[in-house]
């Protein structure tokens, strides 16, 4: 009887150990699934920031010279949906979704009319952008071959979210754009030729993304 009792206790101990291992393994698999889902959602949000940046650059490059005040460095008349220096907080990436709704332009909407636009590339996740002119450098229009009067430098904030509202990604770009000269503006909504806007300047003038970083 004593031997049978010992065998029973041993069996129960082994069964408990196996059950514990099974529970631990199941918990590990659940954790891995959550981690994978979070990673995928983060990738989705980051991809949405790329869409927002694409839309923002298209808007900036498509503005005609008449939309920006000529030979003006401060307190200038700027194209619609482009903020002046100091108008946007330095750490806007940490502001609420409500703030972004009030101040940013949805990537899939026309900045002025609010009508839906076809981007040609989208993640299906909410994306929005902000453009802020931070500096304007006047240059000699006779010395660059294009009649360009100045280069505007812009802070472009791009925000995307995943399926979960708390999955947020924000990137920041510093973008240069020549103004008032002999060149063709880009099209809006954006098309595949967006990058062609800077090609005529042949690297003789600053144009396009000068710096980029992830903020969140």
4-37 pLDDT, tens digit each? 555 666 666 676 667 666 566 566 666 566 566 5
Beta carbons of 49 and 167 less than 8 angstroms apart: no
Q: Answer yes or no: is 145 within a domain.
A: yes
- Band (167; pLDDT cuts 50, 70, 90): very high
- Look-up of token digits 């009508």: 115
Instruction: Give per-residue pLDDT as tens, 85-136.
Output: 999 999 999 999 999 999 999 999 999 999 998 875 555 578 999 999 999 9
The answer to whether the CB of 158 falls within 8 A of the CB of 49 is yes
Instruction: Classify residue 2: in a domain, yes or no.
Output: no
Instruction: List the beta bridge partners of residue 69.
Output: none
Confidence of residue 190 (pLDDT cuts 50, 70, 90): confident
* 204, pLDDT greater than 80: yes
Domain that holds residue 43: 34-214
d(CA 176, CA 93): 21
Query: What is the model's pTM?
Result: 0.82
In a domain, 139, yes or no: yes
Is residue 1 assigned to a domain? no
For residue 160, pLDDT beyond 90: yes
Total domains in the chain come to 1
Q: Is residue 21 assigned to a domain?
A: no
Q: Is 74 within the bounds of a domain?
A: yes
């Amino acid at each position: 009887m004593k031997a049978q009792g010992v065998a029973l206790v041993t069996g129960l101990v082994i069964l408990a150990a196996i059950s514990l291992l099974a529970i631990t393994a199941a918990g590990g698999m659940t954790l891995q699934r959550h981690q994978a889902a979070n990673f995928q959602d983060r990738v989705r949000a980051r991809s949405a920031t790329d869409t927002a940046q694409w839309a923002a650059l298209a808007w900036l490059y498509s503005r005609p010279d008449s939309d920006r005040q000529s030979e003006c460095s401060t307190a200038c008349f700027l194209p619609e949906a482009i903020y002046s220096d100091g108008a946007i907080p330095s750490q806007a990436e940490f502001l609420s979704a409500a703030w972004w709704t009030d101040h940013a332009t949805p990537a899939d909407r026309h900045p002025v009319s609010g009508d839906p636009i076809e981007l040609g590339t989208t993640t299906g996740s909410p994306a929005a952008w902000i453009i802020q002119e931070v500096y304007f450098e006047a240059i000699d229009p006779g010395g660059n071959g294009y009649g360009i009067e100045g280069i505007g430098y812009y802070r472009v904030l791009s925000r995307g979210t995943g399926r979960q509202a708390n999955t947020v990604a924000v990137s920041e770009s510093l973008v240069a754009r020549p103004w008032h000269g002999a060149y063709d503006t880009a099209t809006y909504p954006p098309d595949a030729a967006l990058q062609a806007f800077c090609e005529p300047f042949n690297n003789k003038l600053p144009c396009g993304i000068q710096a980029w970083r992830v903020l969140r």
